[in-house]
Chain A
Amino acid sequence: QVQLVESGGDVVQPGGSLRLSCAASGFTFSTYGMHWVRQPPGKGLEWVAFIRSDGSNKRYADSVKGRFTISRDNSKNTLYLQMNSLRAEDTAVYYCAKDVAAATVDYFDYWGQGTLVTVSS
Chain B
Amino acid sequence: DIQMTQSPSTLSASVGDRVTITCRASQSISSWLAWYQQKPGKAPKLLIYKASALESGVPSRFSGSGSGTEFTLIISSLQSDDLATYYCQQYNSFPYTFGQGTKLAIK
Are A and B interaction partners? no
